[in-house]
A and B are shown apart, each in its own frame.
Chain A
Amino acid sequence: MSSTGRVLNRALLLFCGLLLAASGTAAILTGTQSGWLGSILPAKSVGAAATQVKVWATGLPEVGGVPGAVVVGLAVAVLLTLFLVVFLCTRGARRATSVLDLDSDDGHVRVHPNVADAVLTGALGKRADVLSAHTGAHRVKGAPAISLVLTIRRGANLSRVLSATEDAVQEWDALAGARVPVMVHLSDRSWLDGLRSATRLH
């Protein structure tokens, strides 16, 4: 669960995909010397466009003895690199530093995510039908929210696990004195969990 924007992921994939598709098509058409390439892209107009680009590039003013086209190319490459580095740095879940912020006349109270983790996973993690339980704190639409991920042991009664989870959430509500949105995820076991014992020994 995270609040990172996802549109940019798909926009980058789409943009690069279209660019690559256009390049690939051009390469195939050029490589096969297809007859209908000439009908789609008349040699005259292609040549004229290429000449215009060359004229524009050579017309750029030199910067410190370096051709303007090289400077523009380098600047564009640096800007694109910066954009991509920022893009990479902003991927992934941004964890919230608190799960509850309460303002009162006496002051401000912030509840650390570890408190929610202790309350919610304390009882659930000890259950025989739960392999593991962990929580995460996130901000969704500007408000704090808690994710509770439970990995269930094979053969567990799901309705009982859910009932126990609701009890744990109620306990958290009573302790916090406010409702924080909770997302419960009953997760599949990983291949590593398959190596664990079928029963828990206390």
Chain B
Amino acid sequence: MTDEQAIYRRVLRRETHSARTGSAVVLASVLVVLLVAAIALGVWWVADAGARALVADRAASVTSFAKDGSALTAAGAVAIVVALLLILLAVLPGRLARRARSTERMALVVDDGVLADAVADAVALRCSIDSRQVSATIGRRSATVRVTPTSGVPVDRDAATDAAAATLAAVGFSVVPKLYIARQGVVS
């Protein structure tokens, strides 16, 4: 493997998986705010001896809800839900709705939405129907095309499937499309 291909492999892996930067930045910002507040409180406590009783009173009033079992349970439940969210963000791969490949010269990343639009347009063109009557969804391993035919005009299933497959193959992504034709057509 050349250095260039190694770079492409790394780039494509990073471009198709979420970096979790947004979540981590939000979490870190919240922690910074809490820590700065705690430091300010601590410094106030150290610098002003008269404030110690006040700080202790405030702290006691804040923590007094801990004596109420139901409030503590509710707070614990909220904490566990947030914790579960954070753990899932950390552990799940975070695949993005994109697919990637590299050629001899460049690395290519295509958003699934771009491919879906291209497939829908190609099928609509091949079937001679309005593009609003075709919708396409690109999944990780499959492409689903849904066609709503014009009333009284049959849709050539093979031609539509070929058009979808050819569009994907032209960009270098070989996915077998699944075609669904609505039983009821529309007047267009």
**A and B held together in a complex:** yes
| CB–CB A184/B109 < 8 A | yes
Q: Provided the pairs A16-B31, A84-B28, A166-B106 are in contact, do residues A31 and B80 lie with their beta carbons within 8 angstroms?
A: no
The number of chain B residues with a CB under 8 A from chain A is: 69
Residues 6 to 56 of chain A near chain B (Cβ within 8 Å)? 6, 8-14, 16-21, 23-33
| CB–CB B118/A156 < 8 A | yes
Residues 1 to 27 of chain B near chain A (Cβ within 8 Å)? 3-4, 6-8, 10-12, 14-15, 19-21, 23-25, 27
Interface-located stretch among A96-104, A105-113, A137-145:
A137-145
| CB–CB B111/A28 < 8 A | no
Residues 158 to 202 of chain A near chain B (Cβ within 8 Å)? 158-159, 162, 165-166, 169-170, 173, 179, 181-189
| CB–CB A13/B27 < 8 A | yes
A residues near B117, Cβ cutoff 8 Å: 154-155
B residues near A166, Cβ cutoff 8 Å: 103, 105-106
Residue B84 lies at the interface, judged by CB distance under 8 Å to chain A:
yes
From B46, B90, B113, B121, contact of A10 by CB (8 A)? B90
The 10 tightest CB contacts between A and B, nearest first, are A27-B76, A24-B79, A17-B86, A31-B72, A31-B73, A28-B76, A21-B83, A14-B90, A20-B83, A24-B80
Residues of B near any A CB (own CB < 8 A): 3-4, 6-8, 10-12, 14-15, 19-21, 23-25, 27-29, 31-32, 35-36, 38-39, 42-43, 45-46, 66, 69-80, 82-87, 89-91, 103, 105-111, 113-115, 117-118, 121, 131, 167, 170-171
